[in-house]
Amino acid sequence: MKAEIISKTSDSICIQIKIDFVRSMLQNEVRIEEALNEAGTLASGKALEYFDTEGDPIQIAGVKLTSKGRFPKEYHTPYGPKTIERHVYQTSAGGEIYCPVDHDAHIIITSTPKLAQMISYKYANHGAPQVSADFEKCHGRKIPISFIQHLATMVGSVAQAKEESWSYATPFLDIPVKTIGVGMDGAHILTCDDGWREAMTGTIALYDKAGERLHTTYIGAAPEYGKEKFLERMEREVTRINELYPRALKVGVADGAKTNWEFLSKHTDVQILDFYHTTEYLTKVADSAFAKSPCQREEWLDDACHRLKHEPKGAKTLLEEIKGFRERKVTKANQKDLESTITYFTNNLPKMNYWENLEKNLPIGSGVTEAACKVIIKERLCGSGMRWKEVGAATVIALRCLTRSDTRWEQFWQKIDRYGIPEVNECTLN
């Protein structure tokens, strides 16, 4: 045996580890890892027993429970599986089983909180097979893929279930917040039942007076008809951040999608159409109006983008100029691009005050939200051959939003450490 308990008190243990070295540093490190895992498993077992009772009757919510005896159960820790015997309780009338160890140690299914934290973090970034391989190669632990999926889904479900009741503190900022940027966007993922569906991301970014971003909160939701849940989450988050910074100017930034502006117009003081989406329309105009003159095309496009961004009423003057291109002889496809651009500018002209926003150090682009689409959704859910059920997609998105919003991952686990997960603390006698 490489690890053994050599002394213990009521609330501590001392473990001795023995490691036999060989003439290979790599093999020595493997042996060290094995010994430490063995010690960690041994210590985890004693730590679990620390939460057990002496078998005396207990009361839960005013109801008396008596021990049915001590029954063995295997728990999974970061270091290895450990079976311990612990008391389980029931009322005199029978019914649901209650286990103090599972409840007070905040066991999630059969996992200790730390292992659940490690697995769900890795699962937020990689598929279950990769997580399983990571544990085996990097931690010397063999963990079944099915267990990883089940545990990560449970943690993700808790994150979603507690979104409304668990509030998260925004990190302390020693620089005053002058602007709150709110953005929304979507990305399509391939679902098992309904083909390609749109998952949503939202960002709430805090800026100083110079326009430097200080902090970003990420919100996401799996595909849903109507996007009601996502919009509810966004509204809760915007309300909370407004309460923290009531004097900050709220700026909504998004592309031209109607549903984005229905929300942003209600919750922001200023609305600005994403500058880079707008320049994509100018590119179409340049391709259409100067199809036979590449040099003129580049010159006009550079000038048009500059005027749009830096000149007062730049969008309005460009709109009139683009209307004049209707007189040119172009293909039907190019004419269609001209008309779509004219419509786009006409419908969104009030939200194209880029010069004014820049003068006030306000955001003009939805780059933060575009990046969120890539980081939260595309990088993890849009891999080759991936198809998702709604529960699986929702789990990954919830976990990725927590891990990428500064300090939220830590706060989430602090709440689990404090409150536990009552929904999954039932246990059985086997």
Give pLDDT, residue 315.
96
Calpha distance 304→288 (Å, rounded): 14
Tokens read off for 274:
């994403």
Low-confidence residues in the chain, pLDDT < 50 = 424-430
SS3 at position 54: coil
The neighbouring-strand residues paired with 65 are 58
Give pLDDT, residue 417.
94
Give pLDDT, residue 422.
55
| Cβ atoms of residues 399 and 283 within 8 Å | no
Tokens read off for 107:
């066991």
Q: Cα separations (Å) of 377 from 46, 95, 222, 256, 279?
A: 41, 43, 9, 20, 25
Closest alpha carbon to 181 in 82, 79, 272, 92: 272
Q: DSSP assignment of 55-111, as one string?
A: S--EEETTEEEEEEEEEEEEEE-SS-EEEEEEEEEEETTEEEEE-HHHHHTT-BTTB
Instruction: State pTM to two decimals.
Output: 0.88
Calpha distance 152→235 (Å, rounded): 27
Residue type at 428 in one-letter notation? T
Residue reference for tokens 């329309």: 281
Give pLDDT, residue 428.
41
**pLDDT tens string 65-105:** 999 999 999 999 999 999 999 999 999 998 899 999 999 99
Tokens read off for 353:
């005050």
Dihedral through CA 213, CA 218, CA 219, CA 221, nearest 10?
Answer: 130
Q: In what order do the strands lie in the sheet with 63-76?
A: 58-60, 63-76, 81-91, 94-98
Burial class (CB in 10 A: 0-12, 13-18, 19+), 182: buried
Residues 6+ apart with CB under 8 A from 169: 407, 411
